């Protein structure tokens, strides 16, 4: 029987180290190179040590997860929880915008800037290279009277299509064969709601079978959810004036009650349920995407001060949404009950939300380009606050993966990189604020 720790069998060593805390493991790693390499490369040790800790994975729409060892996950999890990161401003503007972005499979950043859609690829470190765009395009515009712009309000990328909803009341649909190649215009539909008198605020693309594309559109100033069935064509001319003829398109209207408009919506991964956030009501609507039957209704009373600003599916049975009054809620569609209820630490309005489908939820606030990380196991407080940029702007849109958080403000776009050495980076810990 040996009396030396280094002579013990590997399974015995692993069993001993699984009983240590994280700080004790780090101290053992400093003792010698052999133990350091052994502890780093044994996933079971770090999986056991991190059972109760919060791990940030990747957002629901980001379908290409980064493969990390359990040691790397634990190290990066520490950085998320204690505010250890490097911040970098990637894009600056001299005009105020309300951008929308998508970090597609962690390999390309697609972002709206006014009426332009831009794509930037990532480098070897996973950071978007925003000096030169991979491609840019201008959506077709309609000149309107009044103060409305031609900006893109929101867009969705799914099933090799990009659907853009514009504030001029029109919709543009693009075909995408490769995210790194410029999309081709498939169709441009004018006057989507109220004969074009109101903006197109939100769009969603259904997972339907051939030979139709089903697109849902909503306006902040109309209670009608409109479903567009677009017939697929084998060939089409990619010109800015393509408009579907009447025989190529059919429209179904669904009127939602107790609201003054539709602010946001999101389809679940199975493609059979649509969560809808309303203007004039802080209670969302759940719609069966196949039968168009309303499964969950909002509050009976309409309140113009209440708005659901963004809504996302958390998993197959729950969705998360944020409101103008600063509420963050998680709803179970089986019981229609709130299973998580939190508030912004500064009681500010919340503009956007993303979930990793596990325990992490990140929201964008209306003040100081601030993002907040929440743990669905903790109702009483937030986990961490990130001031992404030195601006007073809201965070209009965000996306993330295991190591990066990307946030878009009115005049800039910033990325926070959590894959850093805590010993070399200043800690910006605001987890204690307003607890």
**DSSP structure class, residue 31:** T
Q: 430, exposed or middle or buried, with CB in 10 Å at 0-12, 13-18, 19+? A: middle
Residue 32's pLDDT band, with cuts at 50, 70 and 90, is confident
Round the CA-based radius of gyration of the chain to a whole number and report it. Answer: 23
Give the pair of three-digit tokens for residue 263. Answer: 């602010």
Is it the case that residue 341 has pLDDT exceeding 60? yes
Q: What is the mean pLDDT of residues 156-166?
A: 93
Percent of the chain at pLDDT above 90?
Answer: 62
Residue 10's pLDDT band, with cuts at 50, 70 and 90, is confident
pLDDT for res 233:
60
| 420/417 Cα distance (integer angstroms) | 7
Is it the case that residue 242 has pLDDT exceeding 50? no
Give the pair of three-digit tokens for residue 112. Answer: 């709206």
Query: Is 87-417 assigned to CATH 2.40.110.20?
Result: no
| 111/99 Cα distance (integer angstroms) | 7
Asked if residues 180 and 108 have their Cβ atoms less than 8 Å apart, the reply is: yes
Residue 433's pLDDT band, with cuts at 50, 70 and 90, is confident
| Domain range annotation of the chain | 5-77, 87-417
- Tell which wins on pLDDT, 302 or 233: 302
Is it the case that residue 56 has pLDDT exceeding 70? yes
Out of 85-89, 183-187, 210-214, 331-335, least confident range: 210-214
- Tell which wins on pLDDT, 167 or 52: 167
Residue 64's pLDDT band, with cuts at 50, 70 and 90, is low
Is it the case that residue 115 has pLDDT exceeding 50? yes
Percent of the chain at pLDDT above 70?
Answer: 92
Out of 49-58, 131-140, 232-241, 317-326, least confident range: 232-241
Is it the case that residue 432 has pLDDT exceeding 80? yes
Within 10 angstroms of residue 69's Cβ, the number of other Cβ atoms is 13
Phi, psi of 115 (to 5 degrees): -95, 10
Q: What is the mean pLDDT of residues 257-271?
A: 93
Give the pair of three-digit tokens for residue 410. Answer: 């009115």
Q: What is the mean pLDDT of residues 356-372?
A: 95
- pLDDT tens by residue, 169-215: 999 999 999 999 999 998 999 999 998 889 999 999 986 665 678 99
pLDDT for res 245:
43
End-to-end CA distance of the chain: 52
**What mean pLDDT, rounded, does the chain reach?**
89
pTM (two decimals): 0.92
pLDDT for res 208:
61
pLDDT for res 263:
97
Cβ partners under 8 Å of residue 339, min gap 6: 318, 330, 331, 332, 376
Is it the case that residue 219 has pLDDT exceeding 90? yes
Residue 241's pLDDT band, with cuts at 50, 70 and 90, is very low
Q: Which residues pair with 425 in a beta bridge?
A: none
Angle at 103 between CA 101 and CA 104, to 5 degrees: 115
Cβ partners under 8 Å of residue 101, min gap 6: 109, 110, 111, 112, 397, 398, 399, 406, 408, 413
């Amino acid at each position: 029987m040996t009396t030396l720790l280094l002579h013990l069998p590997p399974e015995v060593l692993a069993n001993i180290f699984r009983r240590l805390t994280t700080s004790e493991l780090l101290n053992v790693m400093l003792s010698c190179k052999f133990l350091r390499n052994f502890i780093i490369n044994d996933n079971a040790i770090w999986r056991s040590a991190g059972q109760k800790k919060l791990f940030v994975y990747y957002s629901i729409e980001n379908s290409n997860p980064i493969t990390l060892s359990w040691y790397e996950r634990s190290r990066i999890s520490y950085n998320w929880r204690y505010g250890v990161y490097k911040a970098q401003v990637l894009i600056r503007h001299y005009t105020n915008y309300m951008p929308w972005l998508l970090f597609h499979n962690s390999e390309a950043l697609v972002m709206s800037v006014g009426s332009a859609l831009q794509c930037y690829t990532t480098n070897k470190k996973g950071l978007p290279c925003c000096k030169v765009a991979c491609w840019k395009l201008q959506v077709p515009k309609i000149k309107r009277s009044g103060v409305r712009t031609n900006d893109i309000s929101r867009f969705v990328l799914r099933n090799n299509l990009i659907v853009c909803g514009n504030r001029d009341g029109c919709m543009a649909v693009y075909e995408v064969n490769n995210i790194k190649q410029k999309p081709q215009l498939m169709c441009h539909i004018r006057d989507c709601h109220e004969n074009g008198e109101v903006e197109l605020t939100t769009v969603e693309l259904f997972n339907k079978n051939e030979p139709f594309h089903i697109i849902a559109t909503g306006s902040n100033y109309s209670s009608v959810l409109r479903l567009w069935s677009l017939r697929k064509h084998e060939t089409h001319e990619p010109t800015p004036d393509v408009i579907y003829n009447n025989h190529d398109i059919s429209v179904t209207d669904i009127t939602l009650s107790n609201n003054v408009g539709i602010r946001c919506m999101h389809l679940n991964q199975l493609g059979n349920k649509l969560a809808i956030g309303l203007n004039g009501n802080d209670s969302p609507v759940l719609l069966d995407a196949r039968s168009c039957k309303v499964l969950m209704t909002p509050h009976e009373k309409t309140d113009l001060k209440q708005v659901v600003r963004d809504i996302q599916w958390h998993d197959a049975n729950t969705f998360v949404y944020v409101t103008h009054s600063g509420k963050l809620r998680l709803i179970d569609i089986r019981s229609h009950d709130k299973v998580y209820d939190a508030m912004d630490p500064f009681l500010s309005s919340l503009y956007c939300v993303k979930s990793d489908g596990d325990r992490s939820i990140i929201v964008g606030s209306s003040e100081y380009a601030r993002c907040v990380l929440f743990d669905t196991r903790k109702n009483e407080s937030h986990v961490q606050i990130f001031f992404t940029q030195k601006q007073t702007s809201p965070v209009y849109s965000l996306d993330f993966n295991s190591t990066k958080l990307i946030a878009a403000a009115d005049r800039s776009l910033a990325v926070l990189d959590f894959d850093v050495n805590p010993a070399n980076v200043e800690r910006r810990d605001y987890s204690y604020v307003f607890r």
